[in-house]
Amino acid sequence: MQFVSELLSDKGNRVFAIHPTATVLDAVREMDQKEVGALVVLEDGALRGVLSERDYARRVILRGRRSDETRVEEIMTVEVVTVAPSVSVDECMELMTEHRVRHLPVLDGGRVVGVISIGDLVRAIMHRQRRTIEHLKNYIAG
């Protein structure tokens, strides 16, 4: 079984963040530059929310709001589902499915130490399945 701590060791624990008072345009530019689909929203080091491409599409574009006038805090998701480094990949997948989210901030002692995406989980599960298939092939081949 693989855990969040292992995923972060493999992918790195770089956290891309934005301040709640930044404009949505600045946040979208940051996501584009970093090639990520979400940013954690931090204020004085504390997690305040998550801003995703989905938030942008639903709360700015569809409502005819202006990205350069709307603040991150106005559209961010504030009820954030988080995980600890000790949570398993399977548990993360269940949480993402249940809560319909694609990003899970990882908290350790109240501090954001990483972010796990659905892509990270899919890669980990595919790697695990490949290993299982190889073990089974070797077992069958004798």
C-alpha span between 107 and 83 (Å, rounded): 6
Measured CA to CA, the distance from residue 63 to residue 56 in angstroms comes to 10
pLDDT (tens, 9 = 90+) of the chain, 142 residues, equals 899 999 999 998 899 999 999 999 999 999 999 999 999 999 999 999 999 999 999 999 999 999 999 999 999 999 999 999 999 999 999 999 999 999 999 999 999 999 999 999 999 999 888 888 888 888 888 7
93-104 confidence digits (pLDDT tens):
999 999 999 999
Give the closest residue to 80 by CA, choosing from 30, 20, 40.
40
pLDDT tens readout for residues 4-27: 999 999 998 899 999 999 999 999
User: For residue 39, what pLDDT is reported?
Assistant: 98
The pTM of the full predicted model, rounded to 2 decimals, is: 0.88
Asked whether 106 and 116 are in contact (CB, 8 A), the reply is yes
DSSP run (H or E) holding 66: none
- Rounded CA separation 72/18 (Å): 8
Q: State how far the Cα of 78 lies from the Cα of 62, in Å rounded to an integer.
A: 19
Q: Please tell me the distance from the alpha carbon of residue 138 to that of residue 76, in angstroms, as a whole number.
A: 49
Instruction: For the chain, list the domains and their CATH numbers.
Output: 4-141 (3.10.580.10)
pLDDT at 13: 84
* pLDDT at residue number 60: 94
**pLDDT at residue 115 in the model:** 96
How far apart are alpha carbons 40 and 50 in whole angstroms?
4
Structural contact between residues 44 and 68, judged by C-beta atoms closer than 8 angstroms = no
| pLDDT recorded at residue 34 | 96
For residues 101 and 5, give the distance between their C-alpha atoms in angstroms, rounded to a whole number: 20
